[in-house]
């Protein structure tokens, strides 16, 4: 139980750190947030918990594919925000991400990569 609490506190602390840095510096906060720290932490947790190498490698591999459809959101959201307000910009960005996810699933399937959940 102590291990799970440690993992939660470490991971949550990372999110808090990023939000605190972002309050002071837009660019530095964005740079830290863009680093794949949560993925790296996840890979570390999997190694410590003795997950099979195949599972660890698959996590990194599928993370690549799942990041791709999120990228357009980071351009759409700041463009929409002053035009539509926060809630609509966020909702529209989420819908764009979902549409991009479906597109990436179809494109990846053409490369033999199965992204849809079973």
CA R_g for the chain: 17
Q: What is the pLDDT averaged over residues 76-81? A: 98
pTM, 2 dp: 0.75
Q: Is the pLDDT of residue 102 over 90?
A: yes
Distance, in Å, from the CA atom of 18 to the CA atom of 37, rounded to the nearest integer, reads 11
Q: Is the pLDDT of residue 118 over 80?
A: no
The first and second tokens of residue 82, run together, are 């002053």
- For 46-85, give one letter per residue: b (16+ CB within 10 A) or e: beeeeeeeeebeeeeeeeebeeebeeebeebbeebeeeee
Average pLDDT in the chain: 92
Q: Is the pLDDT of residue 117 over 80?
A: no
Q: What is the pLDDT averaged over residues 72-96? A: 98
**Confidence band (pLDDT; 50, 70, 90) for 14?**
confident
Q: Is the pLDDT of residue 20 over 80?
A: yes
**Phi and psi (nearest 5°) for 72?**
-60, -30
Q: Distance of alpha carbon 41 from its chain centroid, rounded?
A: 13
- Choice between 7 and 55, residue whose per-residue pLDDT is larger: 55
Please give the C-alpha separations between residue 31 and each of 49, 76, 95, in angstroms, as whole numbers: 29, 18, 24
Q: What is the pLDDT averaged over residues 69-85? A: 97
């Amino acid at each position: 139980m102590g291990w799970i609490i440690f993992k939660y506190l470490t991971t949550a602390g990372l999110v808090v750190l990023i939000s605190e840095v972002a309050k002071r510096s837009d660019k530095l906060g964005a740079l830290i947030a863009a680093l794949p720290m949560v993925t790296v932490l996840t890979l570390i947790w999997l190694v410590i918990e003795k997950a099979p190498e195949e599972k660890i490698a698959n996590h990194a591999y599928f993370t690549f594919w799942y990041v791709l459809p999120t990228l357009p959101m980071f351009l759409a959201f700041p463009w929409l925000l002053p035009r539509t307000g926060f809630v609509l910009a966020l909702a529209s960005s989420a819908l764009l991400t979902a549409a991009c996810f479906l597109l990436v699933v179809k494109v990846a399937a053409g490369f033999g990569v199965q992204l849809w959940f079973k």
